[in-house]
Amino acid sequence: MTRRHWAEECGVVGIAAVPGASELASLALHALQHRGQESAGITVADGHRLQTFKKMGLVADVFDEAVTRGLGGNYAIGHVRYSTSGSSNLLNAQPLQVASHRGTVSLAHNGNLVNAPELRRDMEIDGSIFSTTSDTEVILHMLARSGEPAWEDALAEILPRVKGAYSLVMLTRDKLIAARDPYGFRPLCLGRYRDSYVTASESCAFDIIGAEYLRDIEPGEMVILGPGELTSRRVGDTAPEKRCVFEHVYFSRPDSRVFGINVEQARRRSGEILGREAPAEADLVCAVPDSSNTAALGYATATGLPFELALIRNHYVGRTFISPAQKVRDMSVRIKFNPVAAVITGKRIVVVDDSIVRGTTMRKLVKIIRAAGAKEVHLRIASPPVTNPCYYGIDTPVRNELIASSHTVEEIATYLRVDSLAYLSLSGLLEATGEGDRYCDACFTGNYPVSFAEMSGKLVFDDHVAGAEIKVMPLAPGDESGVGK
The DSSP string of 130-160 is: --SS-THHHHHHHHHH---SSHHHHHHHHGG
Give the shortest CB-292-to-ligand AMP separation in angstroms. 7
- Is residue 354 near ligand AMP by the rule CB under 6 A? yes
**Toward ligand AMP, which CB reaches closer, 237 or 255?**
255
Q: Give yes or no for residue 359 binding ligand AMP (CB under 6 A).
A: yes
DSSP per position, 374-426 = -SEEEEEESS----S--SSS-----GGG-HHHH--HHHHHHHHT-SEEEE--H
Instruction: Quote the distance between the C-alpha of residue 193 and its chain's center.
Output: 24
Does 388 engage in binding with ligand AMP (CB under 6 A)? Answer: no
Min dist CB 83 to ligand AMP, Å, is 11
Q: Which is nearer to ligand AMP, 51 or 252 (CB)?
A: 252
Nearest distance in Å: CB 414, ligand AMP: 16
**Looking at the chain, how many residues does it have?**
485
Should residue 367 be labelled a site residue for ligand AMP when binding is judged by CB under 6 A?
Answer: no
CB contact set of 51 (below 8 Å; sequence gap of 6+): 43, 44, 45, 71, 73, 482, 484, 485
148, 158 in Cβ contact below 8 A? Answer: no
Q: Which of 21, 224, 357, 412 binds ligand AMP (CB under 6 A)?
A: 357
110 binds ligand AMP (CB under 6 A): no
Establish if 361 lies at the interface with ligand AMP (CB under 6 A): yes
Instruction: Quote the least distance from Cβ 58 to ligand AMP, whole Å.
Output: 16
Q: Determine whether 443 is an active site residue.
A: no
Residue 303 lies near ligand AMP (rule: CB under 6 A): no
Residue 394 in the binding site for ligand AMP (CB under 6 A)? yes
- Binds ligand AMP by CB under 6 A, chosen from 355, 388, 433, 481: 355
CB 478 within 8 A of CB 57: no
The DSSP letter of residue 307 is: B
Q: Does a cis peptide bond (omega within 30 degrees of 0) precede residue 95?
A: yes
Of residues 266 and 322, the one with the C-beta less far from ligand AMP: 322
Q: What are phi and psi of 471, to 5 degrees?
A: -125, 165
Site for ligand AMP in 319-348 (CB under 6 A): 319, 321-322
Q: What is the DSSP string of 192-224?
A: EETTEEEEESSTHHHHHHTPEEEEEPPTTEEEE
Find the shortest distance in angstroms from Cβ 378 to ligand AMP: 16
- List residues with catalytic annotation: 10
- Which residues make up the interface to ligand AMP (CB under 6 A)? 250, 288, 291, 319, 321-322, 353-362, 394-396
